[in-house]
Amino acid sequence: SAVISQKPSRDICQRGTSLTIQCQVDSQVTMMFWYRQQPGQSLTLIATANQGSEATYESGFVIDKFPISRPNLTFSTLTVSNMSPEDSSIYLCSVDGVDTGFGYEQYFGPGTRLTVT
């Protein structure tokens, strides 16, 4: 499976500011995914990031609030803009692993715990 790292591991930010989260993979991958996990909740997909094209956002998530970059096949960033306390969550990036022919095993990075005060 791919080795995925995320930076920062955690941060405490003031409302109105922005934070950029980095995701690095040790091998080239076509698609990277960004998820959010609010306290006590399950994972919700924010967007899918393909290298060389605009990210595809899920319903309820917009580019102005969560701009994503995907400059190459091993790296992506997610920015949480103009933060409010409701943005306090764990943010996770994930990548496809083995293609089984029926779908991809998907692996997750270690996550970024964001607290907005």
Partner 1 sequence: EDKVVQSPLSLVVHEGDTVTLNCSYEVTNFRSLLWYKQEKKAPTFLFMLTSSGIEKKSGRLSSILDKKELFSILNITATQTGDSAIYLCAVSSGSARQLTFGSGTQLTVLP
- Candidates 43, 73, 79, 81; binder of partner 1 (CB under 8 A) is 43
Residues numbered 56-115 forming contacts with partner 1, rule: CB under 8 A: 58, 90, 92, 96-97, 100, 102-113
CB 94 within 8 A of CB 1: no
Burial 46-71 (b: 16+ CB within 10 A, else e): bbbbebeeebebeeebeeebbbbebe
From the CB of 113, what's the least distance to partner 1, in Å?
6
CA distance 1 to 63: 30
Nearest distance, CB of residue 102 and partner 1, angstroms: 4
Contacting partner 1 (CB under 8 A), which of 48, 51, 79, 81?
48
Residues 33, 76, 77, 114: which binds partner 1 (CB under 8 A)? Answer: 33
Alpha helices in 1-117 (DSSP H): none
Q: Applying CB under 8 A, which of residues 14, 39, 42, 117 lies at the interface with partner 1?
A: 42
Please say whether the beta carbons of 90 and 111 come within 8 A. Answer: yes
- Residue matched to tokens 């943005």: 87
Report, in Å, the least distance between residue 42 CB and partner 1. 5
Q: What residues line the site for partner 1 (CB under 8 A)?
A: 1, 31, 33, 41-45, 48, 58, 90, 92, 96-97, 100, 102-113
